[in-house]
Amino acid sequence: MDDKTQDKAKKKEERRYYSDGPVLEENGSSRFRRKVGRGMSVFLVIAAGLLFYFALLRLPVISGVIREIFQVLKPIIYGLAIAYLLNPIVKFVDSQLTPFLEKKISSRKKVRGIARCVGIFAAIIVLIFVIVTLLNMMIPELYTSIRDMVLTVPSQLSHLVDKVMEMNSQNSTLSRFLNNILKEGTEYIQNWMRSDLLNRINIVMSNLTVGVINIVSELLNAVIGIIVSIYVLFSKEKFASQCKKIMYAIFRPSQANMILHLTAKGNEIFGGFIIGKIIDSAIIGVLCFLGLSLMKMPYTMLVSVIVGVTNVIPFFGPYIGAIPSAILIMLADFRMGIYFIIFIIVLQQIDGNIIGPKILGDTTGLSSFWVIFAIMLGGGLFGIPGMILGVPTFAVIYYIVNMLLDHLLEKKKLPVNTKAYGEKSYVNSEGKYIHQEEKEVQEEEGNERCQ
């Protein structure tokens, strides 16, 4: 067997070990060692409690320091995120180009270097192509949509006011109620313009200046992040080896293998969910643009961008994007707004039942309830990023808890399959699993013997 075949077999065995999951071990120890370990555990718990208490007292200072560190390291974070998204392209090019280069070049180091350079170059070209294409498609259409909205919305509001005034001409309870609302609203707007308008304008102008500076800063961070991602993709194997080395140096082999297994599982869940969701949202955005273009709806590109971007958020995303879009279209044409709502409902049904399952599959392993729970918890704590990343994060936590529960059940020699714990199943006082149907069969057989 040659070296290449041995290397492939070794890598396959390692991947199977980490993907299947290592076995939780229980090492025996002496009585003295157990007492020392118990004492150290108590000491560490007390020390951790004291540190946590003082950390709560200094929470504003600690959060400020963390925020400052995050701002400084933002280009690095962007680079890691971009490298993570571009890594599938690099891996695909490596897998396709390496066998071809091995036939032409004898040096394995040169083959890896050339394949990696071509893969990273292809990934960066794809990234730039996608960004430029989206900007060329979006900016002119968005400018036209926003310009039309600015020109038409005032006239539409004026038309709405005329309708209300026409209703006011009729002597009815509704007309008097609307008249009072208009009167109070007009007085409020006049008072607001006299007292708060100038202050609001100053605040808006200062925020606009700060916003422009922040946008330029974020664009600069993104450019630096692309450069950082190139270095990360070049050295990803070295970084992975260094992390594995640290794990085996600090932890016991069983613990290190468990951490590596969870890391691989987390990468599988996050990669499958995020990349699949981006592809799914891009398809939904394109289908929305094509459908709205065929129906000749107003603000086609603007609405398609809103629907495509918000579709990244699981479950609630379609509604978050569809509601303001429907209101915007209804201001231009009420009938078109109704058609848009029907179209979005049909499109989301296609996405939820056909497109989404084909692309995402069962990447998270969560039921619908836990998906909603993860979105609401992540959104409540961290906003929009929490709604997007809450589902894969909770899926990893769910996997860890499920794995620990399975380990405890295996120690008690009980079944780990959830379906085994149905309504007619239980565990008796001796710790033995009993299925009610099997027990009924045994009792019937016993009664037949007695007869």
Render 386-401 in DSSP notation, one character per residue: HHHHHHHHHHHHHHHH
Which tokens is 53 given? Answer: 């208490």
Return the pLDDT at 242: 92
Rounded CA-CA distance 243/235 in Å is: 12
Tokens linked to 270: 């996050």
For 207-247, give the DSSP string.
HHHHHHHHHHHHHHHHHHHHHHHHHHHHTHHHHHHHHHHHH
Is the CB of residue 424 less than 8 Å from the CB of residue 437?
yes
Q: How many Å apart are CA 19 and CA 115, to the nearest integer?
A: 26
Instruction: Assess contact for 270 and 164: CB atoms under 8 A.
Output: no
Q: What is the pLDDT along the chain (451 residues), one digit of tens a residue?
A: 555 566 666 666 555 555 565 655 555 556 666 666 677 777 888 888 888 787 777 778 877 888 888 888 889 999 998 998 899 889 888 888 888 888 888 888 888 888 889 989 999 999 898 888 877 776 776 677 666 666 665 566 566 666 666 655 555 566 666 666 666 666 666 566 556 655 665 665 566 566 667 778 888 988 999 999 999 998 888 998 999 999 999 988 888 898 888 888 888 888 888 888 888 888 888 888 888 888 888 878 778 888 888 888 877 777 788 888 888 788 777 788 888 889 988 888 888 777 777 776 666 777 778 888 888 888 888 887 888 888 888 888 988 888 888 888 888 888 888 777 777 787 877 778 777 665 554 555 555 555 5
pLDDT at position 370: 83
Contacts of 318 (CB under 8 A, 6+ apart): 307, 310, 311, 344, 348, 351
314: left (phi over 0), alpha (psi -120 to 50) or beta: beta
Per this entry, what is the length of the chain? 451
Q: Which amino acid is at 188?
A: Y
Confidence (pLDDT) at 174: 60
How wide is the angle at C-alpha 413 spanned by C-alphas 410 and 417, nearest 5°?
A: 60
Which residue in this structure is represented by tokens 């909770």? 394
Place of tokens 């979006």: 138
Q: How many CB atoms lie within 10 A of CB 288?
A: 26
Q: Residue 210 burial (CB < 10 Å; 0-12/13-18/19+)?
A: exposed
* Cβ atoms within 10 Å, residue 91: 14
Answer whether 356's CB lies under 8 Å from 279's CB: no
Structure tokens at 262: 């969870």
In angstroms, rounded to a whole number, what is the distance separating the alpha carbons of residues 72 and 68? 6
Q: Which among 395, 84, 402, 361 has a CA at the least distance from the CA of 269? A: 395
Instruction: Give pLDDT, residue 189.
Output: 61
CA distance 223 to 341: 38
DSSP percent split of the chain into helix, strand, coil, nearest 5? 85, 0, 15
How far is the C-alpha of 221 from the C-alpha of 82, rounded, in Å? Answer: 12
Provide the pLDDT for residue 154: 59
Q: Report d(CA 366, CA 2) in Å as an integer.
A: 44
45 Cβ contact partners less than 8 Å away, ≥ 6 residues apart: none
